[in-house]
Structure 1
Amino acid sequence: MQNEANDTGSPKPAISILIVSFNTRDVLRECLDSVAVATGNLVVETIVVDNHSRDGSAAMVREEFPWVRVIESTENLGFGRANNLAFAAAHGRYIVLLNSDAFLQRDTLCLSLEKMEADPTVGLASGRLVGRDGELQPSARMFPNPMRQLLVISGLADKYPGSRFFGQADRTWADPMEAAEVDWVPGAYSIIPADILHRYGFFDPRFFLYYEEVDLCLRIQSAGYKIMYWPEICVVHVGGESSRQIKTLEMSQTGAQLVLWRMRSTLLYYRKHKGSTAVAVRWLEEIWYLLRAWRNRLRSGEDARCEVRNQKRLADLMSLAWKETKGGRVSPPQPW
């Protein structure tokens, strides 16, 4: 089992694994089981931040995984701020970010550590994310810009995944079994030298959810370090499966809330890194949704009417996100 980092005389952990959980008790149990297997002979500490869950997650961890340090928040801090809380308590030379719905393979940690120590120019790295069925999930991405944004929301990126132009945002054209230097990787699993985070900062707390890992990767890359994708490192991620949507369904309240959060973070990111480009992104999305609504008005049937309502709602949500963030200049009061 793992070595406790806080015990007197215990060695400094090679890796601190940070896991944020919000009402994910059952998959969190599976996640921690995978951590126990992957630890091997490494000196590792594991920290779980419970984001004010209501499902007994924290009690489960304390009872079943006594080697895990639990930090209970009195409010939902979101992904970035909760990880920042864990980072402040971490002692490892490397920080591993792990979603509570992601599961390590037996060699994940050892291989990650080996590859990081072999190349000090790497500032952050990740591996190949797959669903339970083995289907590849987007694991190595390029920084967003208005063109890539349009390719994604228009569906052209999904329609032509093998094209270097249309598939550029998620690099769907690339061989997933080839290592590559990329712009950013998803936060479901990543490994980062702790000293880089101490020097350049962890997550920007303004991002409650979405874009926090994009912002972090951009800052690390701007400091002269590489962001790497290593396919030999494989992690099973349930989240990619559960997020699939049936397009003909009416947008749910929960779905609309997540879309609004994504739009807020989009505007915050563009304003922070690209200034007035945030204006273009706002209008790009709004106009696209309104055009989609207009096109569906020309069709008959309930599916078309439902799509009109959905597209108009999306346009309204972007307008609301613009107002709430004052054009991407401020983060609305948290928790969102």
Structure 2
Amino acid sequence: MISIIIINFNTPDLVKQAVSSVYQFIGDIQFEIIVIDNASSKGSIEKALINFPDVTLVKTKENIGFGRANNLGFEYAKGDYIFLLNSDAYLIDSTTVPLMITYLNQHDKVGIVGPNFIKADGSQNYAYGSLLEKRKIWSDIGFNKLSKEEWSHYATFKVCDVESPQEVGYLAAAGIITKKSVVDELGLFDPHIFLYYEDMELGWRYAQHDYGSVLLPSATIVHLGGGSGGSISKKLQEKIAASKKYYIKKRFGAFHFYRLQVASFFLLSLKRLKRRIS
């Protein structure tokens, strides 16, 4: 059985679309759907799911973030496979899920598989990325900027650009499948990350235990992009920045993190000085 976890935050109509696509395209695979309502304040998730009585609905008292909400959904999961599907994503064929499960079954050391994501108009959406490396971090703050040739190697957001299964740094978590046994062993998302970078941290952490993340270009899921999170407020921007800092500190250590902090402060001070002089 496959357990499908969908997080709702003020997007009941999108959840309905995602759930409907599962019923339409899942085929003969035994499945369950778990919807976590992340303390939504708009729309009615109950109304959206009225025609799907078998869906398990769990409501939180506060917005606990994307990662923790998925972790909560996992606590209710009974399947051998865990399918994390964004509310703003949906299936469009009956071959994608079986293909992803089959690949997992055939490769013991693959921890996560992900599809080629497209938008509603058929154009590509980002599907994977390289792990954030020190070289790119220093470039991002203004030191030794990446060349155009280097950029494609270090880019952390990429559309599917391969023609055969490819192990990658991490997979965009809008429609990924993993094994319950792997999650039991290593956990799902890091609960300290509220939003963004949780999928990158997951790919990095699984790789530390020799479980790869593989992009499957022949599997396709529509991901509208942006529909799940709504508009990005200043408070949310701060949470995203905090997620990035947490990831850097966790992966590279406190010493490297504070070096970056000092370097960022130095560059900012230098820019302010130049503005005063000019």
Matched, 1:39 2:26: yes
> Which shows bigger deviation, 130-139 or 40-49?
130-139
Structure 2 distance, partners of 1:41, 1:173, is 30
User: Equivalent residue for 1:90?
Assistant: 77
Question: Secondary structure of 1:139's match?
Answer: strand
> Which shows bigger deviation, 202-211 or 131-140?
131-140
Q: Choose from 177, 184, 188 the match for 1:198.
A: 184
Structure 2 distance, partners of 1:291, 1:188, is 40
Larger Rg, first or second structure (1 or 2) = 1
Identity across aligned pairs (percent)? Answer: 31
Residue 39 of structure 2 aligns with an amino acid whose one-letter code is H
Q: Choose from 33, 53, 57 the match for 2:40.
A: 53
Q: Choose from 185, 188, 203 the match for 2:174.
A: 188
Question: Secondary structure of 2:69's match?
Answer: helix
Matched, 1:130 2:113: no
Structure 2 distance, partners of 1:286, 1:238, is 37
Q: Choose from 282, 289, 313 the match for 2:261.
A: 282
The answer as to whether partners of 2:125 and 2:225 remain within 8 angstroms in 1 is no
Q: Choose from 6, 12, 30 the match for 1:25.
A: 12
Residue 236 of structure 2 aligns with an amino acid whose one-letter code is L
TM-score between both structures, scaled by the size of structure 1: 0.72
Gaps of 5+ in 2: none
1:207-257, CA deviations, whole angstroms, 9 ceiling, x for partnerless residues?
1112212222222111111110111111111115899xxxxxxxx9x4432
Structure 2 distance, partners of 1:136, 1:204, is 28
Change (3 A) 1:172 1:94: closer
Q: Could you tell me how far 1:64 is from its partner in structure 2?
A: 2.4
Change (3 A) 1:241 1:149: farther
Change (3 A) 1:142 1:291: farther
Q: Choose from 212, 216, 221 the match for 1:235.
A: 221
Question: Secondary structure of 2:113's match?
Answer: strand
Gaps of 5+ in 1: 1-12, 244-251, 300-336
User: Equivalent residue for 1:64?
Assistant: 51
Structure 2 distance, partners of 1:291, 1:234, is 47
The answer as to whether partners of 1:151 and 1:166 remain within 8 angstroms in 2 is no
Change (3 A) 1:44 1:289: farther
1:74-121, CA deviations, whole angstroms, 9 ceiling, x for partnerless residues?
111111111111101100101011110011122221111121112122
Change (3 A) 1:283 1:235: farther
User: Equivalent residue for 1:121?
Assistant: 109
Q: Could you tell me how far 1:258 is from its partner in structure 2?
A: 2.8
Matched, 1:261 2:274: no
Matched, 1:146 2:134: yes
Question: Secondary structure of 2:116's match?
Answer: strand
Across the aligned residues of Structure 1 and Structure 2, the Cα RMSD in angstroms comes to 2.9
User: Equivalent residue for 1:166?
Assistant: 151
Matched, 1:74 2:57: no
> Which shows bigger deviation, 57-66 or 231-240?
57-66
1:112-138, CA deviations, whole angstroms, 9 ceiling, x for partnerless residues?
112111212211111111222222222
Structure 1 distance, partners of 2:141, 2:25, is 38
Higher relative contact order (CA 8 A, sep 6+): 2
